[in-house]
Structure 1
């Protein structure tokens, strides 16, 4: 399977200028291509082919005085910017026609130089890894990389990212080795995600919610207040914006690190992992929105899913309408809905006292096992 490996970059001042130039050229090519396609659609013309759009936006544009500066950056960056436009339109059309599952995809929008995140992508003919560990980018030079771990194989492409806090990252796309599959083990686990306890396991373990955003709320508040007092367009306001972005980046990095460590531990210890398919978007519209976003459930479950596929484990999502908080995990009698203030309850059928969250995790595990048996060809109903 293909995975991304991210590393921090340390470009020199001259390389930062070259990267800014590449970001701007890629943004211009993307916007020019989008403008041409929108104009063709408004006039009722057929869709422009990718090769024709590339000749018009890149090849012919370099010969004009208005776009002659496009030749200052690598052509690989410009071609990949148009490829991103084609992918955005393809996803939009597939979403409209129903060929793409999931939430609806909006049509592509114009990119702005004021965006918080800027990216460019290089394919194999636009970058190479030097023996001394530096990353050579076409028309940018050898950029120092902070190698926190080795790449499992040769990368097929690299995306250079500049985030809102001014940090630079290199995101390599690599093909993982099938030998990374872990040996089989016996335990299986169901996970109930929450706010007081981030994760409750079916074996009774409880992971306390770290609440990174809540803990950093005081520093963020002071940074936002300082930003609000700066004059718009001033250098001091630009510095204050960077300080706020760095504070938010620290929170996001801490949350991501926690999710990576916890998901790796769960995948290594269990052969099968089952979670409830929560409607995070719906919960984010309630009064608990800040806590829901701070928990980062979607990011955590996505990590569990791809790590399970990478290491040869089973992963399943249980329907959100399974009454996990109402069903007894011993006799499976539905005891009815209960308010959130009720944390322990006694089953009316078997008189077993349950912890609400642990019982829900066990129901998730039981439902996941039932779904896996059906998916593997088990008998859904007895024969006639």
Structure 2
């Protein structure tokens, strides 16, 4: 990608989902100068606050990852073929190219998030209040990790940084970078606990230390570091929530606005959740009515519920159930597999009642009876992740990682955006599938 100069605007301007208006340095007394952003507590805090809006609102990363993974891994059905980018994703295969606007949106938005997060992290060291610094670093690292993780979930290789003719690194290298960044953030927080003053300046809902640990466990699992994934998952407090909170006015739930409220874009494919025969949910699974509503009179029959049921619905950064399923997978995949312990973790998910989950996600089904082989455990892990984490943007990654047949996916990875290829000679070849 060619080097771009991002001149950050005032906090209100930074909350906008596009940054076209923030590129030029107009003479505006309401606009923070680049030096102000780079050196002042107010400026860096403003950039940090803008990260959540860019990631979660409108057609940001949440919408793009759910749409891409949802179509490519068969969670979604298209309602209106006039939505060209979504139509291409629903078809998959050679119908996708680098001009797809959903793909391009995820690419550009993720790189902008990484750029801004680095600005906060790298320049916060000059601030004397170290309890505020640890908050800035921890909060910015969450969004840097999510953005880089999103790139690694959909592309075979990802940019090594920002700048002109940037080189590319493997997905494994990207996950290693994420974990190293999280370790630095957690170390800063351990040395200087985050100040209440900083927490009062950011949107409510994000538990910074717990979220960092949860993301470290996620990306260690993706990177096949099962010992680290298990150890880290055991440090996550499963009684706590951490999510993007919304209201009915200026900070609305983006999936509700684009999908649930319009019923003209996409919806869940069915109560099978797009799973193949043999892995479909038990009709008594109480996660089905959590994630789906049913309309027997007006098509489509199956519609969004759960975390997209209202303008004000909170969208979780991670689910406690994800952490338990990380443990189950790690036990089954470690050097000396322990399917018995893996089954214990699986049954925590299968038998969990909705009231026992901070978000109300619970299957409330009878426990599985063992013994099960590690291979059987991993098949069940895929099933349970597909239900527990429905439309979390992770199914495509799960399908590849857990060795599901390629016929269950419409693509393994997506093409690089044309804009990147046109501007950067280091852009890798597009994937074969």
Measured against the shorter chain, the TM-score band is under 0.3
Higher share in helix: 2
Higher share in strand: 1
Normalised to the residue count of structure 1, the TM-score between the two structures is: 0.24
- Work out which of the two has the higher radius of gyration on C-alpha atoms and give 1 or 2: 1
Normalised to the residue count of structure 2, the TM-score between the two structures is: 0.22
